[in-house]
Amino acid sequence: MANRKNIVITGASSGLGAGMARRFAAAGRNLALCARRTDRLDALAEELTRRHPGIRVVTRGLDVNDHDRVFTVFEEFRAELGGLDRVIVNAGLGKGQPVGTGYFYANRQTAETNFVAALAQCEAALGIFREQQAGHLVVVSSFSALRGMPRNLTAYAAAKAGVTALADGIRADTLDTPIRVTTLLPGYIESEMTGSAGRAPLLTGADRGARALVKAIEREPARACIPALPWAPLSVVIRLLPVRLLRRLV
């Protein structure tokens, strides 16, 4: 497997993004971290360089819904680090509401951030990887992408299904090239998003979740459920559940 030295992580100021950054830093990787909350981002960068003085950590404030800036920031990261080996499309939003209940703005924001902004990040990353003729694109989707979901998950799951299909298409387009594409389907992992969501069955702790994410990313599979247990077996079950039972369980 290629040595991916320079790694971009979006949405890196907290949660899974910060957890992955800590583990990659411990492995000696250089990091390019971006998020909206620059105070948290700068604190994380200071922590990582203090603990691992042999690495480089560069940061940028970035709202991924500012699509032009996504391209600018990725190019700045490329220039500062001398190339990008891996881009992890991690920034996301989980504020959906049941469709038709008066919260279109929340569902629209969820869809725009989790699909359109993810498309911008994939475009920016692939433009660089095609020029370099190498790179690893990692798209953090969701277990909920496997089928339509009820209640607050409806728009979220639809957007994640879209980004999963996007990653699949990019993978097909770059087949037999040095560009690799990985889609991650995390189940419920402890984070600010799951904390605000309320119901979170089979919740995995933040540290175990980040460890499982990084382990999967380093293998560079086409697709992986995170953590593999229980979510890989459940991925088969969830597709077969009758809708009435799905509604009761989710």
The two tokens of residue 64 are 């991924």
- Amino acid 191: pLDDT: 67
> Given pLDDT bands bounded at 50, 70 and 90, which one contains residue 195?
very low
Give the Å distances, CA to CA, from 103 to 94, 192, 244.
13, 21, 24
Report, as an integer, the average pLDDT of 109-114: 97
Active-site residue set = 156
**Mean pLDDT lowest for which of 82-91, 102-111, 186-195, 231-240?**
186-195
Tell me the pTM. Answer: 0.92
Does the CA dihedral 205-155-38-83 come out positive or negative?
A: positive
SS3 state of residue 128: helix
| Alpha-carbon distances of 116 from 39, 73, 119, 171, rounded to whole Å | 26, 17, 5, 18
User: In the chain, what are the domains?
Assistant: 6-249 (3.40.50.720)
pLDDT in tens, 42-82: 999 999 999 999 999 999 999 999 999 999 999 999 999 99
Instruction: With CA atoms as reference, report the closest residue to 89 among 56, 61, 64.
Output: 64
Residue 195, CB half-sphere, CA atoms under 13 Å: how many? 8
> How much is the pLDDT for 192?
62
